[in-house]
Amino acid sequence: MSAIVVVDALWGDSGKGKTCAHLARRRNVTLNVRAGAGTNAGTTVVLDDGTQIKARQLPIGWTNPNTRVAVGSGTMVDPEILRAEIERFGLEGRAFVDGRCAVIEPAHIEAERADAHLATTVGSTCSGSGTARADFVLRRARQVRDLPELAPYVLDVAREANRVAARPDETLLVAGSQGTMLSLALSPDYPFTTSANCTAVAAMSDVGLNWRLVTDVVMVVKAMPSRVGEGPLPFELSAAEAIARGIAEYGVNTGRQRRKAERPDFDLLNYAAMLNGATQIALSFCDHYDPAMRGARGADAVTPRIRSLIGEVEAATGAPVTMLDTGPGLSDMIDL
C-alpha cells in the first residue's frame, strides 16, 4: 500500500514536476494524478537527452514508461490543452481525466483577461481556471463527461487512484499544484492567492483519495523561493540581481520573470509543514543557492553551505530532507 502526495511549501515553481518525475522512476509508480486548480500552473522537466518537457494540464510522471497519468475530478480541464499534451507526449492509452472535472471554456479565459483586478492587482495567469471554478461552484459549468471528444480519456479517477494505492505492489503519486502559501483559504496574503487550496489535504480531495492510504507527504522546499504576480516575498532580491547572478527564472505560462528570494522564510516553512503534515522534504534549486552544487549526483558532493541549509530546513519543518535537486536535468538529483 502506497500513496505519495507531493506539495509545494511556499509560492510554487519549486520543481514539483521534477520531483514527481524522479519519484515515478525511482518507485516505478503505477499512476500519477494531477491535483490543483487547473491549467494556471505549469511544470518543466529536462530529460537526460536535453529534451525540455513543459506541461500545464497533465502530471509529468509519464516520463517513467510504466506510469499512467490522470487528472483528478477537482481540477479544472482545458480540453484544448489536454488533447494537445496527450498528442505531443504520445500518451494515447496512458492519459485519463475524471469525467466530473469542470471544463474551462474560452469565455472563462476571456473574462479573466478582461478583469483588471485579476490581471493587474492579483497578477493572475488568466488561464480561466478561477472563473471555471466559480461556475462549477454555481453548478452551471460543463463537465468533461459532457464533451464527446474527450470520451476516450474519461475514467473514474477517484476509484482507480484508491484501487492502486490499496494494492501492496503498486504506488500512487499525487502531484499538487502551485504552493501552500498561495492557498485561497489559508494564505495570509489574500487576495494575492490562487482560486483553490494547495495543501496535501486539498490535493487528496481533488483526487478523491482516502486519507488512510497516504504513506508519505513530500513537501518541496525551494532553496531560493520565487513568486509570480503580486504579494509579499520575504528576503526578495531585485530582478537585476537575479539576472546578474545567473539565477533568473521565467514563468511557464506567462514568460514573466519570477520574483526571487535570497533564502526561505523558516517561520513560513514551519507553518507549511504543520498544514501539510510533511514526512519528507525535497530541497530544490540547490545549485542556485550554492553554484558548487550544479549537476551533483552523489551525497559526497553536498557542500557545507547546503548541509547548513538542510539543517535549518529540517529544524523548521520537523521532517528529513531526503532529496536534493542540483540542476535542470532530470538526473540532477541526490537521494539522501
Q: How far is CA 85 from CA 8, 29, 39, 217, in A?
A: 23, 20, 12, 27
* 125 in a labelled binding site: yes
13 counts as catalytic: yes
Cβ contacts of 142 within 8 Å, gap of 6 or more: 102, 103, 105
327 marked among binding-site residues: yes
Alpha helices in the chain (DSSP H): 16-27, 79-88, 106-113, 116, 129-137, 157-166, 200-207, 239-244, 266-276, 286-289, 304-317
- Catalytic residue among 8, 13, 78, 216, which? 13
Task: Report whether 276 belongs to an annotated binding site.
Answer: no
Q: Is 277 annotated as a binding residue?
A: no
Work out the angle at residue 63's Cα, subtended by the Cα atoms of residues 61 and 67, and round it to the nearest 5 degrees: 55
* Rounded distance between C-alpha atoms, residue 2 and residue 23, angstroms: 12
> Is 286 one of the annotated binding-site residues?
yes
258 labelled binding-site residue: yes
Strand partners, 160: none
Q: Is 325 annotated as a binding residue?
A: yes
The reply, when asked if residue 194 is annotated as ligand binding, is: yes
For the chain, the residue count is 336
176 is in an annotated binding site: no
**Residues 246, 248, 250, 256, CA torsion sign:** negative
Grid cell listed for 326:
542540483
Ligand-binding annotation for 133, yes or no, is no
The answer to whether the annotation marks 255 as part of a ligand binding site is: yes
Residue 139 annotated in ligand binding = yes
Query: Grid coordinates representing 50?
Result: 536535453
Q: How far apart are CA 301 and CA 295, in angstroms?
A: 10
Task: Residue 189: name the closest of 225, 230, 226, 221 by CA.
Answer: 230
Task: Determine if residue 302 is labeled as part of a ligand binding site.
Answer: no
Left if phi > 0, otherwise alpha if psi is -120 to 50, otherwise beta: which for 134? alpha
- 113 marked among binding-site residues: no
Residue 143 is labelled as binding a ligand: no
The answer to the question of whether 8 is labelled as a binding residue is no
Binding-site members for GTP are 258, 285-287, 325-327
Binding-site members for IMP are 125, 139, 178, 194, 256
Binding-site members are 13, 42, 125, 139, 178, 194, 252-258, 285-287, 325-327
Binding-site members for substrate are 252-258
Binding-site members for Mg(2+) are 13, 42
Name the residues annotated as catalytic.
Answer: 13
